[in-house]
Amino acid sequence: MPESIRFLSEKIASPLRWLWLSGLLIVLDQWSKAAVTARFEMYKTLRVLPVFNLTLAHNTGVAFSVFAHGSGWQRWVFSALALVVSVVLVGWLRALPRHAHLTASALSLIIAGALGNMFDRLRFGYVVDFLQWHWAEHYFPAFNVADAAITVGAGLLILESVLSSRGHRAGG
């Protein structure tokens, strides 16, 4: 195989190829936030299902609005943290073996979520949330596509860890 083709095939086979998923989810996240922001008034609710609403909310904090009442420092600290975490995860992704598809997809999801929310913080000073699950009068805090990507990515990392430990136990 010619050297240039071998180099190209190694690059394509790299776990970094999973960054397409990050890019796609960042675009979907930003598009969905813009669409909801353009069509909804703050806290106006549209019932989609008996247990699911669309409602526009702004979160200056992090998960579950923790630190939402800070003096503005959280915008810069959480943006910097998202950037550092994303750089570290890209490094981890790059170091993965080619066959580590579950871990690579999980890291790509987390990167997408971190950067999607970082873009909101830098542009607006808050994160746009709009997805809301509830049961009767019990409401889960509103979230967005980026938050869902982080959650699914973290779940996949846990799953991979469990599957990996079972495989080591069964083999050893």
Q: What is the pLDDT of residues 136-172, one digit of tens each?
A: 889 989 999 999 999 999 999 999 999 888 765 544 4
Domain for residue 65, yes or no? no
Domain for residue 111, yes or no? yes
Chain center to CA of 135: 25
Domain for residue 157, yes or no? yes
Domain for residue 97, yes or no? yes
- The answer, yes or no, to whether residue 6 has pLDDT greater than 60, is no
Neighbours of 49 (CB within 10 A): 8
Q: Are 140 and 54 in contact (CB under 8 A)?
A: no
Residues recognised as catalytic: 129, 147
Q: How confident is the model at residue 67 (pLDDT cuts 50, 70, 90)?
A: very low
The total number of structural domains in the chain stands at 1
- The answer, yes or no, to whether residue 9 has pLDDT greater than 50, is no
Domain for residue 32, yes or no? yes
Mean pLDDT of the chain: 87
Cα–Cα distance, 17 to 5 (Å, whole number): 17
Domain hosting residue 23, numbered range: 16-41+73-126+146-171
Q: What is the pLDDT of residue 114?
A: 97
- Please report, rounded to a whole number, the percentage of residues in the chain having pLDDT higher than 90: 70
Amino acid at 59: N
Cα–Cα distance, 136 to 141 (Å, whole number): 14
Q: What is the pLDDT of residues 28-66, one digit of tens each?
A: 999 999 999 999 999 999 999 999 999 999 997 665 554
Q: What is the pLDDT of residue 171?
A: 43
8-state DSSP, 143: B
